[in-house]
Structure 1
């Protein structure tokens, strides 16, 4: 099995399996809060620690140039197994602090899964790379949605979903090492050079692409982190019983619908331009974030419809930002530009992940998503400056 699409299928499946680790704790937050007596001020760190770990892992990998020292398939294998072990260890964690530390280690391990997977996929495609990477990100998006479905199925029994996703992640790592081969277009990873940051930012295209990505990240992970809580609050206000499980289903549908959004956006980006598709996606997601105020507490039908459309749009543009930075950054500093984009973007996610529940506490969950609206609007403005005429 050595066709590009077959290899993409295996890598995408492995990414799907490994990325179930990302929101494994977020999906069972109420149970973890209960069993570990996690203070209210630390709850957001169940997700924020993963973000911070991913940033540190990305920086260490870039500074050590691991992607060139170690084969990308081996990195994915190591990252998947290390992440699986850290995730499973939550079950025997002695305190809430140790849970947060284990979530940080999980995020650091996933830094060895996500970027190497992108590199492997890109190595099999020269043409239609936008579609290929869109499908890959769609697969990992679906993986991030799965824990919410497992929570709806298992309820308060959070040990079984945590162990299950650890097993899935380990399986994904084994699959990559055993089945996947390097593609004909596999390129060396450009090293990280901090002194080149000024040169990168002097490029108008790289600045706009990075600014657009930051607007995208301002919204994306906060939406993914809190959509289950928002949905449960809305469903409770509408009079639904067992709103917690229904909120988990809503989160699965919202995040999972992004897989289709990534695939369609990748297909369209190859035809209409990456910046234009990213702009359209961000305008749609900003509108959805604003409309949460309107649908809150109304019929569950409208809630489910909105979060699915929102989830479809909010991640649809994700694959296009890396491609845009690669196109506009100085060729000798592409690796630095991508590392800078990723690290600053994931650090920014921590602001809105922390900010949304604070706004909800000050007002209500009906208005919390308004915090996210400025990000995609500013990102869409940046893409409007970058897009090319059709």
Structure 2
């Protein structure tokens, strides 16, 4: 049974619309600080609140096997609606730091029923060519990640409240599209019972474990790189006063180009293998981490930006491929739970790497600190190097 041609575009569009909840508020952080009289430290707390909410949400969804016991499209829709409502709470005029943190936390919590569940829905439809399908899906997330950097430019024209309302509206649209146009997929196998032990048992499969650990290494680098792209550009501009950077637009380009890389990586994986392409991307991003300190001393700003664009390509190209390997090596009846578990651990790792990198920059002020990001890819490459089942990686 071949899935209808319209299914993948709808899943991708729905994923982009709903994951805009995640990152769009970052584009109006300055307005939130000014409007509610917050201090500068609140910016970091508000950003971390979404990540922490997502981690808690994925943990709850995984333990309860939500995406495998119930219709994934209905789970997606319910979380899209609830996420939109909590996101909308940010515009309440009576907000304090505590209420803002709560709204952002629960927005992140319900994103746990959107991002990994969207991948589960794709896996239910596309048993063959899953890497290509997830490439489009993660590509949509990447563009959503880059979007707030453009919003920083737009907030001069539109009010910050309009940005929040728009992202909530997009989420409602995405959830509605998913629940009305994407029924349960032909390869879905419903789990008949609650499997509280699934969080641990999935890791008994060596091939699954190899893919998951590769993904964890990738996540150590990914979000830290995205978070510090504007800081890297600002640092280079300070070292080379003649440089004229439009930092928001360049940040959008450097991060957003990864969306195209995800799609191209998916097609490439069909030719030479999912595991091989993931390994290659992880190796190249590891190389970027190690040589990054030397690029800050280069006089050519074109070379510096080109390097960051290349890094932006290879740092994310393996993400949908790791998710593909995870899905392929998980039991069919707990595939959604497996994807959610891996997301949970992976995003927990991002908080550690971002905070460590931030502290190291405070201690030293040296651009060599970005080399610490190579630790994750190195460990991920080691995990992928272990021998696994012959079917693994295609």
TM-score range, shorter chain: 0.7 to 0.9
Match of 2:161 among 149, 159, 162: 159
Q: What displacement does 1:198 show?
A: 5.3
Q: 1:203 maps to which residue? A: 205
TM superposition score normalised by structure 1: 0.87
Higher relative contact order (CA 8 A, sep 6+): 2
Aligned pairs for 1:170-319 within 5 A? 170-188=172-190, 193-195=195-197, 199-239=201-241, 246-296=246-296, 298-319=299-320
- Alpha carbons of structure 1 residues 191 and 138: separation in structure 2 relative to 1, 3 Å: farther
Contact 1:190–1:336 under 8 Å retained in 2: no
Q: What displacement does 1:217 show?
A: 0.9
Q: 2:147 maps to which residue? A: 146
SS at match of 1:307: helix
Q: What displacement does 1:329 show?
A: 4.8
RMSD: 2.9
SS at match of 1:147: helix
Compare 325-334 and 308-317 and name the one that shifted more: 325-334
Q: Distance in 1 between matches of 2:194 and 2:291?
A: 41
Q: Distance in 2 between matches of 1:354 and 1:52?
A: 13
Compare 168-177 and 142-151 and name the one that shifted more: 168-177
Compare 85-94 and 106-115 and name the one that shifted more: 85-94
TM superposition score normalised by structure 2: 0.87
Point out 4+ residue stretches in structure 1 off by more than 6 angstroms: 387-390
Compare 157-166 and 248-257 and name the one that shifted more: 157-166
- Alpha carbons of structure 1 residues 329 and 10: separation in structure 2 relative to 1, 3 Å: closer
SS at match of 1:89: helix
Contact 1:84–1:106 under 8 Å retained in 2: yes
Q: Distance in 1 between matches of 2:337 and 2:180?
A: 31
Contact 2:49–2:108 under 8 Å retained in 1: yes
Query: How many residues align structurally?
Result: 387
Contact 2:124–2:187 under 8 Å retained in 1: yes
Q: What displacement does 1:150 show?
A: 1.6
Q: 2:83 maps to which residue? A: 83
- Alpha carbons of structure 1 residues 82 and 229: separation in structure 2 relative to 1, 3 Å: farther
Contact 1:21–1:166 under 8 Å retained in 2: yes
Contact 1:230–1:365 under 8 Å retained in 2: no
Compare 149-158 and 354-363 and name the one that shifted more: 149-158
Q: 1:343 maps to which residue? A: 344
